[in-house]
Amino acid sequence: MATRSCTSRDASDEINDPGAAPYGNFINYYTFNPPENRLSLIPATLLQDLGYSDGQQTTLILDVGCNSGELSVAFYEHLVQGPVCEEEESNRRRVNLLGFDLDEILIERAQQANPLPSNISFIPLDIIKDTDQLQDYLNQHGCSSFHLCLCLAVTMWVHLNHGDSGLLHLLSSLASISQHILLEAQPWKCYRSAARRLRKLGRSDFDHFKNLKIRGEMAEHAREHLERNCGMELIQSFGSTTWDRKLLLFRRR
């Protein structure tokens, strides 16, 4: 997930070091963290379990910081695709996913490779600055909120580039437009690794890293903010990924 415009990203970054991504906009992200790392923990019946199986209802999924879209597509297919009866085929047409990322180059790749353009859309967006496009999408589908929001491995990049206030703003913004949030917050050790990687590349440190007051158990900090300040409640943990990151499901109270 990126947190500023990346249309002018130096092409030499991609040639010299695919890991040169201080905003989380890795060009090869799904080669080292494939979708199966998350999908293996998430039941294919998740939408039904959450009560979104009525064929008369439009179900909207939001993927925050979707990168080049591989996980967005795989997640949709995991929950919606596969052999279906006629009734389930009708349900499938009513499930739509919107993925966004700040990196316009990655979004272009996602759009070009999208196998389900009738159900899956990708747009460039910086949620820290603008949520109007998300509201437009909701209005277009006649919904007041997204039924499920995916926020997977995004929080750290917003936190490092926008500070404590940026992290809390992100969580609050997502909670305000979502019925459920599936959250994967990077642990603190990832912050240290990201800072170390940036220094090895000879770049300036993250502006906010040394001044962050929210530290330590990042998933717990996120849970506390969502429950105390955003009207959400933790309803399930799907365990931890192979990278030792918890997948937590929240519901609006």
What pLDDT does residue 198 have?
A: 86
For 185, other C-beta atoms within 10 Å of its C-beta total 26
* CATH code matching the domain that covers 145-252, chosen among 1.10.10.60, 1.10.3720.10, 3.30.70.1520, 3.40.50.150: 3.40.50.150
Domain map of the chain by residue range? 56-127, 145-252
What pLDDT does residue 6 have?
A: 40
Where does the chain show beta strands of DSSP type E? 59-64, 95-101, 120-124, 148-152, 180-184, 232-240, 246-252
The three-class DSSP label of residue 62 is strand
The three-class DSSP label of residue 20 is coil
The residue among 149, 183, 155, 181 whose CA lies nearest residue 169 is: 155
Would 56-127 and 145-252 be classified into the same CATH topology? Answer: yes
CA within 13 Å, CB half, 132: 2
What pLDDT does residue 14 have?
A: 41
Give per-10-residue mean pLDDT for the chain (253 aa).
43 46 82 92 96 83 97 96 50 84 96 97 94 96 97 96 97 98 97 90 86 97 98 98 94 96
CATH class of 56-127: alpha beta
Q: CB-based contacts of 9: which residues, under 8 Å, 6+ apart? A: 25, 103, 105
What pLDDT does residue 17 have?
A: 54
173, burial (CB in 10 Å: exposed 0-12, middle 13-18, buried 19+): middle
> CA distances (Å), 115 to each of 74, 137, 171, 201, in order?
11, 20, 30, 36
Whole-model pTM? 0.89
pLDDT tens digit sequence for 127-163 = 999 889 999 999 999 999 999 999 999 999 999 999 9
- CA angle 46–156–191, rounded 5-degree value: 125
